[in-house]
Amino acid sequence: MKTEQQYFNEAISIQQYMDNMTTLKEESFRIYDGFEVPTNDGFVELLKDKHPKILTITEDWCGDAMLNNPIIRRIAEAAGLDMRAVLRDEDTDLIDRYLTNGGRAIPIYLLLDDAGQVIGKWGPRAPQLQELVVSKRAGLPDKEDPTFEDAQKALYAEIREENITNQSYWTFVYEDFKKQVTSVLK
């Protein structure tokens, strides 16, 4: 069984990953181009000091990855961190170590120390966004309802558009990532 460090060593850079995306690429880059990392809260300085590596488990069809990857990438770039990506579906052994409520939810961000040990994890979604998604899903018709599939597609399109345009969602991601990472690095 491969270690997280071995996955990291074999992974591609987050820049390569985003450049090679075939789904949600334009949307991801709209967030990447629009997000500015706060410079007055000490988070970038903490990351520069502790210098963890970030291993991202992701897929380009995922709406949460579309939102989170550009933000975490900007943070990593501001702090000079090495951030790499592996595809969840290419090798499920890694994601199976980091299930969310029993599922292979992505994206997952693993923070590795210099020895390649996992020192922290974040993902797949900021709590405020999780509450929002749960609330919106509650309004869907029953799964057996013939309109369910169309209603679900419409809901996901609505959430995707909000993720791209609502900058408060970007702040939710940044703040929760900062909170989680700070708690493991201090």
pLDDT digits 0-9 by tens, 6-50: 999 999 999 999 999 999 999 999 999 999 999 999 999 999 999
Report the SS3 class of residue 124. coil
Asked whether residue 159 is assigned to any structural domain, the reply reads: no
Asked whether residue 87 is assigned to any structural domain, the reply reads: yes
Digit-coded pLDDT (tens) for 74-93: 999 999 999 999 999 999 99
Digit-coded pLDDT (tens) for 100-144: 999 999 999 999 999 999 999 999 999 999 999 999 999 999 999
pLDDT at 186: 87
Asked whether residue 15 is assigned to any structural domain, the reply reads: yes
Reference 55, options 106, 112, 105; nearest CA is 112
Task: List, as one string, the DSSP characters of 55-97.
Answer: EEEE-TT-HHHHHHHHHHHHHHHHHT--EEEEEGGG-HHHHTT
Residue 102 Ramachandran class (φ > 0 left, ψ -120 to 50 alpha, else beta): left
Q: What is the dihedral of CA 160, 72, 15, 102, to 10 degrees?
A: -70
Q: 72-92 as b/e, with b when 16 or more CB fall inside 10 Å?
A: bbbbbebbebebbbbbbeeee
| HSE-CB of 174 using CA atoms within 13 angstroms | 22
Q: How many domains does the chain have?
A: 1
Asked whether residue 85 is assigned to any structural domain, the reply reads: yes
Asked whether residue 145 is assigned to any structural domain, the reply reads: no
> Bridge partners of 139?
none
E-state strands within the chain = 12-13, 53-58, 83-87, 108-112, 118-122
Asked whether residue 71 is assigned to any structural domain, the reply reads: yes
Asked whether residue 152 is assigned to any structural domain, the reply reads: no
In whole angstroms, what is the distance from residue 18 CA to residue 16 CA?
6
Asked whether residue 156 is assigned to any structural domain, the reply reads: no
Mean pLDDT, residues 163-186: 97
- Residue range(s) defining the domain that contains residue 110: 4-125+167-185
CATH number at residue 178: 3.40.30.10
Q: What is the pTM of this model?
A: 0.96
